[in-house]
Amino acid sequence: MRYPTSEFITQNLKSRLHFTVLRLDFRKAPWDGTTDTIFRSRANGLRCSEKNTAKQQNKNAGALFLKQVRNPMQIRPNPITMSGVSRTSLQKCETRRILMRLLMCKSTINFGKPNVCLVRCILCLAGALLFVSSSRGEEPVARFLERLRQQKLFDLAVVYLDRSAAAGLLNPTTLQNLELEKIILRQESVAASKSGKDREARAQQVEQDLQKFLSSNPNHARRTEAKLKLADIWLTRAQELLDKGDDQKQSAREYFQKSMDLFGASVTELRPILESMQGAKVDPNDREKLALRERYQEEYRQAEILQAYCAMRLGDTFASGSSDARAWLTKAKELFSGIIKKTTDRREAGRHVLCLLYRGQTLVKLGENDEALDSFIRVADITEGGAFRTWVVQATTEIVKLLSNPKQAKFEAAIERGDRLLKTAQANERFQPEWIDLQFVVAEAKLGWASKIAKEPNGDLRSKTIRSEVRSAIQALARRPGPQQDRARSFLADLGVEVKDASGDKPIEIKNFADGMRAIREKLDESRDFTLQVDVLQTRRAEADEEERANIDAELVRVRSDMDSIFDVALDLTQRTIAQYSAEDSREDLLQARYYLAFILVKLERYWDAAAVADFTCRSSLGQELGQKAGGLALFSYRKLLESVGPERKANFRSTIESLSSFLLEQWPAAEESRVAVTNLLQLAVESQQWEDVERYLDMIPKDAPDHGRIARELGYMRWSQYAVAVDAKKKSGEELGDADRAVLAQAQRLLELGLSELKTETLDERSIQAAVALARIYLNADRIADAQSILSRENIGPLSVARSRRELINDQRTLSEIFRLNMRISVLLASRNGTPLTVDAVQTLVHEMNSAAEPGQFVNDLVLLSQELIDQFKQGGNVSTQTSLLELFPELMDQATQASGSIELLDWIGKSALNVVELAKGNPTLAPKTDRLASVAESAIKKMLMVAESNPGVLTDQRKEQLSILQSQAARNRGNYADAVNLLTEVVRKNNSNLLAQLELARTYQLWGMSAKSQEYLKAALLGAEYNAATRTSVVWGWGRISQRLASQPKFQDYFLESRLNLAECRYQIAMLESEAAAKSKTMETAFEDVRKTVLSFPNLESKEWETKFDLLLRKIQRELRREEIGLREFVKT
């Protein structure tokens, strides 16, 4: 039994019912508590045309109400009516809502007195506008809390209140009520909690919080509200305990008693307050006081009703009929009757009806059935919708029960009343708890009636018909997932639907094949109920907590066991039926029986037998549809068997499945089973990496089948991915690609070409786009640039076309970026081939497209990737003309990008990438002379970057600026502009003398400058440094000598150290070579020799083969000049 919480009474009775009641014109016929009055009022007050609107509104209100009734703990307090202070934003919100209600119902209220209504609406409108206008300058707390509640985000709502309070966003009134609001939110969260433990913990916490609130806020304006909430919690707990069983009755009684006492105390507390606020004692202009009085009145009434309700429930905690039980129930009856007498005002119509209902229930428990019936009829005869409708259903249920009990046995009257109401039930109502209860009691009444008339002459047939009706009604409830299923199942079991002798105590007798077929079908029909139950249980299991899950598991085991029993019986039946087949029977029926046999074997998980029977049935079906289905069963069974056998037997299975698949395809080429068969085969081949079979299996699918192309693309893409992974791995390990890799690539290409040739606009999907990108990459890597472009840019279905016009088809950002990168690569290469450099617009479009496809911050990464791809292309070397073209187009492209962009990231990339390519090209004598332009582009990019940085102070750090200067110097040096490079670098080291990279670059630049200009001066600067400062006795530019000294003891700079030692010797060698006098040359050359010797002896292993080779080569040059044996580093071994 559900009970009304305080909120329920406050909110649903106040606003919703008040609204409902407003639509009844009680002004014409003052409310006297009789249904007749309601009818009259309705007839007078509503015009026909408005009836539908009113009904619809009632329905909506009813739906809301039911939602809350089903989850009593979810019924939340409305801070608006509870706060009692009219100026809060919470109230403003409610005022607007009330206004909306009034406006909504204006067409249905009292057309006889339009002026009164109009005035009321205008007054409300004025009031609401006043609040709306005063809503400026506030966090919309009420609205937001309301929405959070709707979203069941109670915990987050608490966080919100705390955060808002901390940020000073709450007004004083809300702040004053903050603690209580938070407790209320936590209370609301109890019902939303998913696990039983959590729910209990939350409820306990709320209880403690409320008690703490009450003890620490003795004069709080919302104290009574808090009390009612606490009493609600106890009432809930009492209810739960009572539901657990008789042994918990004592504990339940204590909670009911506590709850009742608290409700009673609230009544006692409020009574004198309300007396002091009666009538004219409150100034009619004091809106706050009026609102407060209204709230107290509501709280008073709800406390009264709940007090009575507790008394009723206390009666339930004693043995039925005991004096204690009777005493409590009598008290409840008196209390309810008292309230019924008091609630004659139209605004309290809802409370009045509710108390009638509860009084009826109390009277039933007291055995005063006639009086109870009267109470229920007064409720059941109401035709109003909304919350009333729920009570009507409940009252009708009680009436049906009363009329159909054995003493009364007025089955027909009961059924007529119940059915009449059930006929009016909407589809969405039928499965609501109250309606389900009604359906069950009506079903019981019908069964009672059926039993009664079965005893009458010729009543047997009618009785059977009624039972059949009941069965189908309850089966409908059993089929629908929900808590009613157990009850329905049990009901059906009692009705005799469920087979209790499923294990076959007594085999079902069959007379012939046809009889057997009927019996099999019946048995399989029965099995469907179990299948339904398994589904339902599994669904429930997925949503259950651990505790419930264990119970559901046990239930599942039981149901499955019952189901297996049914199938065992069905198996036996089927085998016996097939044995009874004779020439007179239909061959189609035999096929059907075999199919049933295979199906039952699958259900019993006897897959070997199932596969054999199904395979045979399929092949012997002569093309009938049932054979196709049997093929599906056979494939399923084979697949199941495959999961359990070892790899050595899998090959055998594959040949069996292949044979069956071929048969299916031949017989039913378009059937789903055939498609599944081949897909299975393909899956098996892929799983076992039997790629040589894949294309053969693919050929089995008809070319015009819609899946053919899609599967080919999937497989091709899979192969391409495998190839890409292998390439990546081998690249990292330095291995060469082998024949096997090339075979994978070739198959990927074949499959992709096949799949993409069948691609149409309507079959276009993301994978097909990825497949096309993969094929374009294959073509590009094979230098088939035109083919790559063709596949990328196919009209409507090419990746580029899709990316430009139907981008929503591409969800994967990487695919989108890759498309535009590929496009750029292809465009560059094609331009190179055609000798038609890209136009400015073309480059800008390409860059823009890449940018638009990239995620924030991803654009630069895309460009880096593109750079890497172009550099990779460049590195592939094979085709010198392509390399030359790339080298010529690369600067064009980058120059355009430099012009087009003001982005520091892009310019940075251009600078670095260009220099990277320059460095690579310098190693090739054919390409080296063509690097000037690219170096110049790099320099421009860096200059522009610095310009951008200048106009945006703070964009670049000093360190970053130094790095840029170094990059700029590299670009200048690469163009042979050594003076600029030295100036740039010197500027850096002047500001930051310990910038090692700059010092290294300076030494390198001076050295190259010296070698290029054949200048001892620059070589000496490289060696010894430059810009000597006499005061500090140091040089601003260190030179290789000082660099090597500084790095000698720093192992982390080992490579730089070795570089400095090598170049130290190299510089001396170069200086020596420029000496005009032999003695001076020899002396300097000896020093160079010594430099190498000292280095080699100090670092005998020279860290790596690379350095050893370099020192060895240099030493050989020196040895040659010193006219010694050119034995390189072996000289020191000898030493």
Structural tokens at position 739: 């024949």
Binding mask 844-873 for other proteins (x = CB under 8 A): ----x--xx--xx-----------------
Q: Which residues contact 331 (CB under 8 A, 6 or more apart)?
A: 311
- Kindly identify the residues of this chain, within the stretch 883-902, that bind other proteins according to CB under 8 A: none
Minimum gap (Å) between residue 824 Cβ and other proteins: 16
- Residues 519, 170 contacting (CB under 8 angstroms): no
- Number of residues interacting with other proteins: please give it, by CB under 8 A: 31
Structural tokens at position 157: 């709502």
- Kindly identify the residues of this chain, within the stretch 924-953, that bind other proteins according to CB under 8 A: 952-953
Minimum gap (Å) between residue 87 Cβ and other proteins: 16
In the complex with other proteins, the residue whose CB is nearer, 731 or 848, is 848
The rounded distance, in Å, linking the Cα atoms of 532 and 526 is: 10
- Kindly identify the residues of this chain, within the stretch 118-137, that bind other proteins according to CB under 8 A: 132, 135-137
Minimum gap (Å) between residue 893 Cβ and other proteins: 19
Scored b (16 or more CB within 10 A) or e, 522-546 reads ebbebbebbebbbebbeebbeebee
- Rule CB under 8 A: choose which of 64, 98, 153, 1122 binds other proteins: 153
In the complex with other proteins, the residue whose CB is nearer, 676 or 906, is 906
DSSP string, 39-55: HHHHHHH--HHHHHHHH
Minimum gap (Å) between residue 892 Cβ and other proteins: 21
> Which stretch in 138-146, 187-195, 517-525, 829-837 sits in contact with other proteins by CB under 8 A?
138-146
The rounded distance, in Å, linking the Cα atoms of 1055 and 1099 is: 12
Q: What is the CA radius of gyration of the chain?
A: 45
In the complex with other proteins, the residue whose CB is nearer, 955 or 1113, is 955
The rounded distance, in Å, linking the Cα atoms of 808 and 803 is: 8
In the complex with other proteins, the residue whose CB is nearer, 167 or 427, is 167
DSSP string, 216-267: H-TT-TTHHHHHHHHHHHHHHHHHHHHHH-GGGHHHHHHHHHHHHHHHHHHH
Minimum gap (Å) between residue 142 Cβ and other proteins: 10
Minimum gap (Å) between residue 768 Cβ and other proteins: 20
Binding mask 558-587 for other proteins (x = CB under 8 A): ------------------------------
Residue 163 found at the interface with other proteins (CB under 8 A): yes
The rounded distance, in Å, linking the Cα atoms of 11 and 94 is: 12
Three-state SS string across 308-334, please?
HHHHHHHHHCCCCCCHHHHHHHHHHHH
Tally of CB atoms within 10 A around 170: 21
Residue 147 found at the interface with other proteins (CB under 8 A): yes
> Which stretch in 160-168, 631-639, 650-658, 746-754 sits in contact with other proteins by CB under 8 A?
160-168
- Kindly identify the residues of this chain, within the stretch 88-117, that bind other proteins according to CB under 8 A: none
In the complex with other proteins, the residue whose CB is nearer, 166 or 622, is 166
Helix H or strand E segment including 1029: strand 1026-1029
- Rule CB under 8 A: choose which of 64, 169, 686, 865 binds other proteins: 169
Binding mask 829-848 for other proteins (x = CB under 8 A): -------------------x
Minimum gap (Å) between residue 22 Cβ and other proteins: 28
Minimum gap (Å) between residue 433 Cβ and other proteins: 26
Closest to 570 (Cα-Cα) out of 504, 665, 620, 621: 504
Minimum gap (Å) between residue 493 Cβ and other proteins: 37
Closest to 302 (Cα-Cα) out of 362, 240, 259: 259
Structural tokens at position 705: 């089948």
- Residues 817, 869 contacting (CB under 8 angstroms): no
In the complex with other proteins, the residue whose CB is nearer, 853 or 1129, is 853
Structural tokens at position 969: 């110097």
Closest to 757 (Cα-Cα) out of 699, 692, 800, 710: 710
- Kindly identify the residues of this chain, within the stretch 947-986, that bind other proteins according to CB under 8 A: 952-955
- Rule CB under 8 A: choose which of 70, 143, 467, 943 binds other proteins: 143
In the complex with other proteins, the residue whose CB is nearer, 777 or 944, is 944
- Rule CB under 8 A: choose which of 139, 371, 381, 783 binds other proteins: 139
Q: Is residue 92 classed exposed, middle or buried when 0-12, 13-18 and 19+ CB atoms within 10 A define those classes? A: buried
Closest to 1067 (Cα-Cα) out of 1043, 1035, 1091: 1091
Residue 151 found at the interface with other proteins (CB under 8 A): yes
Residue 1028 found at the interface with other proteins (CB under 8 A): no
- Residues 1023, 1040 contacting (CB under 8 angstroms): yes
- Rule CB under 8 A: choose which of 140, 482, 706, 976 binds other proteins: 140
Q: Nearest 10 degrees: CA dihedral of 1091, 1095, 1097, 1100?
A: -150
Name residue 1034's beta-bridge partners: 1029
- Kindly identify the residues of this chain, within the stretch 796-815, that bind other proteins according to CB under 8 A: 807-808
In the complex with other proteins, the residue whose CB is nearer, 729 or 955, is 955
Minimum gap (Å) between residue 110 Cβ and other proteins: 24
Helix (H, G, I), strand (E, B) or coil at 850: helix
- Rule CB under 8 A: choose which of 49, 168, 285, 542 binds other proteins: 168
Structural tokens at position 285: 């202009």
- Rule CB under 8 A: choose which of 125, 129, 156, 1080 binds other proteins: 156
Residue 250 found at the interface with other proteins (CB under 8 A): no
Using CB under 8 A, list all residues that contact other proteins.
132, 135-140, 143-144, 147-148, 151, 153, 156, 159-160, 163, 167-169, 807-808, 848, 851-852, 855-856, 952-955
